[in-house]
Structure 1
Amino acid sequence: MRYAIRHVTRFDYAQPVGFARCNLRLKPILWSGQVLEDYDLSIEPGGRTSPARAEAGLANVTRLVVDRPSKALTITSRATVSVDRLIPVPASSDPSLAEIALAARESRDAGAASPAAYLFPSPRIPLDPAIGEWCAAELDPARGCLEAAIALAQRIQHEFSFDPTATLVDTPPREAFDRRGGVCQDFAQIMITGLRAAGLPAAYASGYLRTLPPPGQERLVGADATHAWVLLWCGASLGWVGVDPTNGIWMAEDHVVIAIGRDYADIAPIDGVVLGSGAQDMHVSVDVEPLG
């Protein structure tokens, strides 16, 4: 499946801003099952851009500097991405969770995609005994990794309510867990908390969902906005496998990966510093259009 993706972020400032320096993580990464065919980034009213190194995780980072006064800033990212990704099928030959945990601990890979980098708590996803205990019901060490991953994702989908008013971008996982509600970011963070508590390498994936579902299927939650889901490392043979606890499904052709990190802080689409006074409003719109 090929997609045309348009992601627009507009900032409106109460008073002119004299300087802004931002990190943009909007260009989809090269990842298993997807190819970036074309990409364009435009800034209005303008600014200087340069490539930058990702400090953590896997992301294409662009540094933006705006050094002339402005009351508005619009960042438009356009990409054409081809996705050809199979849906995982649990099998009796899958590595067990115990085998995965051991292999991750013994890994000597120091790269950004190393399972060892995603075993431990991170700034926005601390260890939490209550979440760990709740998730442990699906994480028997002897259970196959794929069977356990989809079971936990579907339990979260069934027992938690999608409620955009329940949480904010910086809401801790425990607060969303206690409320049994939130958005895709919350559900991903809750699942990652549980997986890491079991000694399993789990990463936070940010990206997009297709806007239009296939004929006869319901529209997925999270379309028309950036989406978040989970990657579980399933050993050397299976590698990183994506699972979406918001929708209770695997990461497949409907998902486009922008970036991968320990949590949202590693791969926020836009962050940085703005020098000015007064309030600001941010508006985001996303369109994911299937092509052909």
Structure 2
Amino acid sequence: MLLRILHRTEYDYQGSVDMAQHMAHLRPVDTPSQRVLAHELRITPEPAARSDTTDVFGNQRSFFSLQSIHSTLTVEADSLVQTQAPQPLPEGAPWHGMSWERVREHFRYRAQAPFDAASEFLFASPHVARDDRFAAFARPAFASDRPALVAARALMERIHTEMTYESESTEVSTPALQALEQGKGVCQDFAHIMLGCLRTLGLPARYVSGYLLTRPPPGKPRLIGADASHAWVSVYVPAPADADAAVDGDDGTATSGGAWFDFDPTNNRCGWGSPGEDYVTLAIGRDFADVSPMRGVIQSGAGHKLSVAVTVAPPDELDLLQAGAGT
């Protein structure tokens, strides 16, 4: 599937800003399930300095600074991405039947255990604590000897069924435990809750930010800027040989052959590589704090009004929409 994503962020300051520095995670990443064909980041006013780098998680990020007085800031990311449907997991795949307890034991600390890079996604992070309340919520999905991927899917389904999606019921900084206790939130909260459950049980899981192609209501046209960013979760399962090496206390020569599997508790969809070909992965991290689309510091005493508009559509359809809107 060929998708074009327009992500426009506007800051309207209630006064003048003297200087500013910003970091943006707005370029999708290349993965086995998607390929970035084109990307442009347009910034107004023109920044005095800009650099593009890769962060520790492999995400593409842009740093820019503004050193002249300005009262507005507009950042528009324009990306063209080719996606593909997630590969079905064959019944005989090495990860298919591995129990969640076996995955947990693979990551339990022991002297001279082989290193697995997924270990960094086991720990608490700014928005996601490790807490027994997460374990209690997740426990019905994690019966003894249940395959890890089956248990993760059951947890995803429980969050989807028992949590209520409600816009503006939380804020960007709302802790995952608070969202769990109030029983409602948005996609970011659902992803954080699932992360908290998995990590508290000893399973590595990471936050995925991105986009989802949405369908307008029947009879209604697609509107420019009416979409939004999305978030879901990836769960890691090591290959059986690696798990055995860790449990048996090998000499440390084992190499990781595991895989990440995506679960979207907001929409109850999952897949190997992505939840579907209508998803676009933007960035991965421990939680939202690692992959915020825009963050920065300004030298000013003024407040601001923020507006964000996202459009995800096939390129031909988006061209027609823009032509009709006169943009």
**Gaps in structure 1 of 5+ consecutive residues:** none
Measured in 2, the distance between the counterparts of 1:75 and 1:257 equals: 19
Q: State the 1:211 CA deviation.
A: 2.6
TM-score, with length taken from structure 2:
0.81
Moved more, 85-94 or 237-246: 85-94
Q: State the 1:235 CA deviation.
A: 1.9
- Change in Cα spacing, 1:144 to 1:183, as seen in structure 2 (3 Å) is same
Report how many aligned residue pairs link the two structures: 281
Q: How does 1:16-165 map to 2 (within 5 A)?
A: 16-47=16-47, 48-54=49-55, 56-86=56-86, 88-89=88-89, 91=91, 93-105=96-108, 106-109=113-116, 114-165=117-168
Measured in 1, the distance between the counterparts of 2:159 and 2:286 equals: 20
Q: State the 1:133 CA deviation.
A: 1.0
Q: Does the Cα contact within 8 Å between 1:211 and 1:287 map onto a contact in 2?
A: no
Is 1:277 matched with 2:301? yes
Match of 2:266 in 1: 246
Is 1:233 matched with 2:240? no
Match of 1:177 in 2: 180
Q: Secondary structure at the match of 1:191?
A: helix
- Change in Cα spacing, 1:174 to 1:245, as seen in structure 2 (3 Å) is same
Q: State the 1:291 CA deviation.
A: 4.4
Partner amino acid for 1:32? Answer: P
Q: State the 1:81 CA deviation.
A: 0.5
Match of 1:194 in 2: 197
Q: State the 1:145 CA deviation.
A: 2.1
Match of 1:166 in 2: 169
Is 1:262 matched with 2:286? yes
TM-score, with length taken from structure 1:
0.90
Q: Secondary structure at the match of 1:81?
A: strand
| Identity among equivalent pairs (%) | 35
Measured in 1, the distance between the counterparts of 2:297 and 2:73 equals: 13
Partner amino acid for 1:12? Answer: D
Partner amino acid for 1:256? Answer: V
Q: Does the Cα contact within 8 Å between 2:17 and 2:302 map onto a contact in 1?
A: no
Q: State the 1:104 CA deviation.
A: 3.7
Measured in 2, the distance between the counterparts of 1:231 and 1:268 equals: 17
Could you list the per-position Cα deviations for residues 133-167 of structure 1 after superposition, in whole angstroms to 9, with x for gaps in the alignment? Answer: 11121123511122112111111011011011211
Measured in 2, the distance between the counterparts of 1:214 and 1:195 equals: 35
Measured in 1, the distance between the counterparts of 2:232 and 2:144 equals: 22
- Change in Cα spacing, 1:286 to 1:119, as seen in structure 2 (3 Å) is same
**Gaps in structure 2 of 5+ consecutive residues:** 240-256, 317-327
Q: Which has the larger radius of gyration?
A: 2
Q: Does the Cα contact within 8 Å between 1:107 and 1:116 map onto a contact in 2?
A: no
Q: State the 1:258 CA deviation.
A: 0.5
Partner amino acid for 2:140? Answer: A
Q: Does the Cα contact within 8 Å between 1:17 and 1:274 map onto a contact in 2?
A: yes
CA RMSD of aligned residues (A): 2.1
Q: Does the Cα contact within 8 Å between 1:17 and 1:71 map onto a contact in 2?
A: yes
Measured in 2, the distance between the counterparts of 1:273 and 1:90 equals: 48
